[in-house]
Structure 1
Amino acid sequence: MDALILTVTLIGALCAVDLVCTLDAIRRGRTDPPTRKDSRRPAPGVGDPVAPFATSTVDGIGVNQDMFDDETLVAFFSTTSRPCEETLPKFVEFAREMPGGRARTLAVIVGESGAERFTEELVPVARVVVERNSRGPLCRAFRVTAFPVVSLVGPNDGGSPIVTYERVPLELPARAPA
């Protein structure tokens, strides 16, 4: 009988330790931000560098990482994403008020089917690049795997482009009223 009591006590203690470890892991998962080395993140975070890239806009204008010599609004949209369709009008309104205008706004449309509609709405307010899939040069440079993404990019102290704001609140004005 003593062996049975000892076994039940030991199993109970192990379950209690397991519960404490599980609760701690859940707590850390909710409060610890992902690190830059976390490859599971679907979009770049503040301070993340923009990898070198070179591509062209739908207007045939070349763009590369050197374009981020000042704060630039950058957005990624997928033609097959309902959240992208819902975000598009808000982004267009926000981009209209962006300091620097179209020259400081870059929109990346991912997907060929339906890209025309996105392009039509975005060209008046942004330089537009269309990529076939998320393996295009801009998606790779920013490590974007989920959509939509709206960020601000600018130079760091050394002049290299980094993400300076990772989730631009499109509900707010692009600039404060004078």
Structure 2
Amino acid sequence: MDYSAIATTLVGVLAAVNLLFTFGVISRLREHTAELAKIRSGGARDDSNVALPAGSRIGDFTAESVDGRPVALDLLGSQPLVGFFSPSCTPCKERLPGFLAHAASRPGGRDSILAVVAGSPEEAADLVDQLQPVATVVVESDRGPVQQAFAVDGFPAFVLVAGDRVQVSNFDLASIIHADSAALPAAT
């Protein structure tokens, strides 16, 4: 028996099996890449997963802003805009300039805008510095009381409130700005 022929055949079979596994891995990587692209663009997320859906009653909460003021839903006016951010969230960083610009031009000023940053004060410091000129800012741990009241399940999350109910919630800032612009003239 020729051992070199058997060894060559065995190496060829192993190479073929390895090639099949490699094609499988490449196929799964392509699927994962497509799924990640959907998530980053917002296509894979359902609006109901970001926070309470439209029409839902917002839970009770109390918090303290970074400048020591008490924060509760009834202290934010009749139609507040609420944004939820995380320091480690890439989409939060991408949508932050749009949120800041809209908040700066929104009637009612910073007293009608609540920005909630999930994280430690040290982690949140950069976001707080950017948000504080245009919003009342609360820093709380992940799944803190404000996040629980709005049933936030991802970042960023934006919620328009009418009274004690969600008017619209979404992770897409453009749709929130559109709804907010339509609602505010009716309120003023």
Fold in common (TM above 0.5): yes
1:1-178 maps to which residues of 2 (within 5 A)? 41-112=49-120, 113-134=122-143, 136-155=144-163, 161-167=164-170, 168-169=173-174, 175=181
Unaligned stretches of 5+ in structure 1? 1-32, 36-40, 156-160
Contact kept, 8 Å, 2:160 with 2:166, in 1: the verdict is yes
> CA, structure 1 residues 34+56, in 2 after alignment: closer, same or farther (shift >3 Å)?
closer
> CA, structure 1 residues 171+164, in 2 after alignment: closer, same or farther (shift >3 Å)?
closer
Instruction: Give, in whole Å, the separation in 1 of the partners of 2:133 and 2:152.
Output: 24
Q: TM-score, normalised by structure 2?
A: 0.64
Instruction: Give, in whole Å, the separation in 2 of the partners of 1:122 and 1:116.
Output: 10
Instruction: Give, in whole Å, the separation in 2 of the partners of 1:66 and 1:123.
Output: 20
Q: TM-score, normalised by structure 1?
A: 0.68
CA RMSD for the aligned pairs?
A: 2.4
> CA, structure 1 residues 34+61, in 2 after alignment: closer, same or farther (shift >3 Å)?
closer
Instruction: Give, in whole Å, the separation in 2 of the partners of 1:171 and 1:34.
Output: 15
- The structure with more radius of gyration: 2
Instruction: Give, in whole Å, the separation in 2 of the partners of 1:69 and 1:89.
Output: 24
Unaligned stretches of 5+ in structure 2? 1-45
> CA, structure 1 residues 173+143, in 2 after alignment: closer, same or farther (shift >3 Å)?
closer
Instruction: Give, in whole Å, the separation in 1 of the partners of 2:47 and 2:134.
Output: 32
Q: Flag the structure with higher helix content.
A: 2
Contact kept, 8 Å, 1:95 with 1:174, in 2: the verdict is no
> CA, structure 1 residues 34+149, in 2 after alignment: closer, same or farther (shift >3 Å)?
closer
Q: Calculate percent identity across the aligned residue pairs.
A: 36
Contact kept, 8 Å, 2:86 with 2:117, in 1: the verdict is yes
